[in-house]
Amino acid sequence: MSVAKPYESATSVGGWPLRLRLFIANYGVYIALLALLLAATVLTPRLYDVNTIAVVMRQASQLGIVAIGQTLILLVAGLDLSVGGIFLMTSIVVADVTNGRDELVIPAILIALALGALVGLGNGVLVTKRRVPPFVATLGMLVLVKGATQAYTKGVPGGFVPDILGIVNQSWFVLSIPLLLWLGLNAAFIFVLRRTVYGRKVYAVGSNIEAARLSGISVDAIRISVYILGSCLAVASGIVLTGYVGYVDRFIGTGLELDSIAAAIVGGTAFVGGRGGLLGTIAGVLIIQILSTMALLMGLDIEVQFIIKGLVILGAVTLYSLANVEA
């Protein structure tokens, strides 16, 4: 019926030249990170102290490991708020199973991973088979998991965190176990996303789910698997957090679920899926972590920290949407 849609010339949409838009989309977050690091030389030179760098990198790793999963989920146009519940669950499982005994750490981790996978499966099934919007499905799962863990502990978490997990707080120069884990997982998942069939399918599903289905991809299986991976990565981050805190804290990792989404978005992963990747997320994680540390070093109030963080997120998203053709 309607007249064939005219194709807009690729160079003129939105008024910004194509090259500039591609440049921002591809490298914007690194330029922002570089600018931040330069600003720190003047504002907070103490950031460059070896010990500070080590702490920043350890904390960035906690956030970064969850953010890997969050990026994968965002790539298939999803979202995972339930990771907050997984941190608490992991922490309680570790304390409950080991009760402080180092030799039981491995079984505890395996149990936590299995439970995490179950949560991810639940998220995935709700989103794909029951067509619940990811925000609602994972929010419900967050409340469910938190409620279930508190019912299990009757509100008084018991048990002790084994001493061996304290290893996450040690640094050799700037290197630490969390940092190595973060870097290793990044390397593995960057490889998966770029060089494997599975990675291609993840991008395809996120870019155009109907075209992916018509290309013979089992779109539901891909989406469910990504939610499971996301939950397992949250368990990994939860173990690092547990070792960091050293006891079962009811508020463990609070705020990391939103920070992990923010890191991925700031790093250029599209909220609508199909665009972005882990190299951007790494930079996004570093920006968020360095901002927090700088604010701390400058003695700014926590409220001011939040304001700065919020402005950075909004600024990044605004810039990407201006730069993006499809927005």
Partner 1 sequence: MGARHKSMSEYILEMLNISKSFAGVQALKDVSIRCRPGRVYGLVGENGAGKSTLMKILAGAYQADVGEIIYKGQRREGASAGDVIDSGISIIYQELALVPRMSVAENIFLGREPQRAFGLLDLKSLHERAAELTERLGIAMDTSLPVSELTVAQRQLVEIAKALSQNADLIVMDEPSAILAGSELDQLFSIIESLVEQGVTIIYISHRLDEVFRIADEVTVLKDGELVDTRSIDQLDRQTLVRLMVGRPLDEIFPRTDHEKGELVLVAEDVSTDTILEGASLELYKGEILGIAGMVGSGRTELARALFGADPLTSGTITLTGDKGASWSNPAQAIESGLVLVPEDRKSHGLFTSLSVRVNITLPILSRITRFGVLQSQAEDEVVEEAKHRLSIVMASADQEAQYLSGGNQQKVVLAKWLETHPAIVILDEPTRGVDVGAKFEIYKLMRQLNDRGIAIVMISSELPEVIGMSDRILVMNDGRIVGEVAQEEATEAGIIELATMAGAKAKVS
Tokens encoding 31? 């330029």
Name the CA dihedral angle for 182, 187, 188, 193, rounded to a multiple of 10 degrees: 120
Which lies closer to partner 1 via its Cβ, residue 18 or residue 296?
18
Q: Report in angstroms how near the CB of residue 191 gets to partner 1 at its nearest.
A: 8
Which lies closer to partner 1 via its Cβ, residue 204 or residue 288?
204
Q: Report in angstroms how near the CB of residue 110 gets to partner 1 at its nearest.
A: 25
- Which DSSP string corresponds to 39-58? HHHHH-GGGGSHHHHHHHHH
Cβ contact 278:190 at 8 Å: yes
Cβ contact 262:284 at 8 Å: yes
Cβ contact 83:277 at 8 Å: no
Which lies closer to partner 1 via its Cβ, residue 21 or residue 309?
21
Cβ contact 309:262 at 8 Å: yes
Q: Report in angstroms how near the CB of residue 226 gets to partner 1 at its nearest.
A: 17
Which lies closer to partner 1 via its Cβ, residue 10 or residue 156?
10
Q: Report in angstroms how near the CB of residue 39 gets to partner 1 at its nearest.
A: 32
Which lies closer to partner 1 via its Cβ, residue 6 or residue 299?
6
- The closest of 57, 14, 21 to 181, measured between CA atoms, is 57
Cα 292 to Cα 55, 59, 205, 296: the distances in Å are 12, 10, 34, 6
Write down the residue that tokens 């972005």 correspond to.
276
Name the CA dihedral angle for 238, 243, 244, 247, rounded to a multiple of 10 degrees: 100
Residues that bind partner 1 (CB under 8 A): 1-10, 18, 195-198, 200, 203-204, 207-208, 210-218, 270, 274-275, 325-326
CA distance 157 to 150: 8
- The closest of 162, 158, 139 to 149, measured between CA atoms, is 158
Q: Report in angstroms how near the CB of residue 7 gets to partner 1 at its nearest.
A: 5
Q: What are phi and psi of 324, to 5 degrees?
A: -90, 140
Which lies closer to partner 1 via its Cβ, residue 49 or residue 326?
326
Q: What is the DSSP secondary structure assignment for residue 271, as one 8-state letter?
A: T
Q: Report in angstroms how near the CB of residue 287 gets to partner 1 at its nearest.
A: 23
Q: Report in angstroms how near the CB of residue 227 gets to partner 1 at its nearest.
A: 21
